[in-house]
Amino acid sequence: MQLIFLGPPGAGKGTQAKVVCERFKIPHVSTGDILRESVKAGLPAGLQAKAYMDKGELVPDEIVIKIAVERIQRPDAKKGFILDGFPRTKVQAVSLDEALKKIGAKIDYAIYFETSPEMSISRLTGRRVCRKCGANFHLVTIKPKKEGVCDFCGGALIQRDDDKVETVKNRLKVYTSQTADLIDYYRQQGILKTLNGDLGIEEAFGIISDWLKSR
């Protein structure tokens, strides 16, 4: 099963990808997570990407395509994967099609998480992530048991630099100008599924599971 999770920042793609990947035992391929890990590790790709990420701009296609294509060719991705946050431009989408063709795979569904800019802003400005294990929380909707402390590993919860309100607004602009056209790209391929991104995590998971079972 090969899926793409598409949608504006804060639509809930990463949160839902974790749940679906755990249930269906497939890898979660988040270009955002891979880039953040590369920044942390001081890798060349991370150092190049950091300035773009801090401003909420897209990292250049050639860097991201290399990362994503390399990841989906690893042995654990043979049984399927969820691409979360990739592709984000037409150039990335076409490169993905070409890479999949080479390995004899195809995308089953591109799931579009539809939500409003207001919801994106409230989800992202309230998001807190664990510095140690990367788990996601929210100040209002997904509170940790103890304020500021990760439920899973006890690490400190912090706000991502690009979750400050001005950067979030820029990420939304960038999404509208560079990524939103991919909704039509996948609609034309007949593989687009639209999900109400405002639904709760369990409800959204139920809908996605039904789609996957009837595929």
Interface ranges with ligand AP5 (CB under 6 A): 9-15, 30-32, 35, 52-53, 56-59, 64, 85-88, 92, 123-124, 127, 136-138, 141-142, 162, 171, 199-201, 204
Looking at 36, 71, 123, 127, which residue is catalytic?
127
The minimum distance between CB 214 and ligand AP5, in angstroms, equals 22
The minimum distance between CB 7 and ligand AP5, in angstroms, equals 6
Burial tier of 51 (Cβ tally within 10 Å: 0-12, 13-18, 19+):
exposed
Rounded CA-CA distance 195/199 in Å is 9
The minimum distance between CB 108 and ligand AP5, in angstroms, equals 19
Looking at 160, 164, 169, 193, which residue is catalytic?
160
Q: In what order do the strands lie in the sheet with 136-138?
A: 136-138, 127-130, 157-158
Task: Respond yes or no: is residue 160 known to be catalytic.
Answer: yes
Cβ closest to ligand AP5, residue 161 vs residue 184: 161
Phi, psi of 50 (to 5 degrees): -55, -45
Cβ closest to ligand AP5, residue 138 vs residue 187: 138
Task: Respond yes or no: is residue 127 known to be catalytic.
Answer: yes
Looking at 13, 18, 123, 128, which residue is catalytic?
13
Cβ closest to ligand AP5, residue 33 vs residue 108: 33
DSSP state of 175: I
Rounded CA-CA distance 81/72 in Å is 7
Task: Respond yes or no: is residue 88 known to be catalytic.
Answer: yes
Residues 6+ apart with CB under 8 A from 24: 1, 80, 212
Task: Respond yes or no: is residue 171 known to be catalytic.
Answer: yes
Task: Respond yes or no: is residue 13 known to be catalytic.
Answer: yes
Cβ closest to ligand AP5, residue 97 vs residue 104: 97
Rounded CA-CA distance 120/98 in Å is 32
Residues 6+ apart with CB under 8 A from 10: 115, 119, 120, 121, 123, 124, 127, 168
Catalytic residues: 13, 88, 127, 160, 171
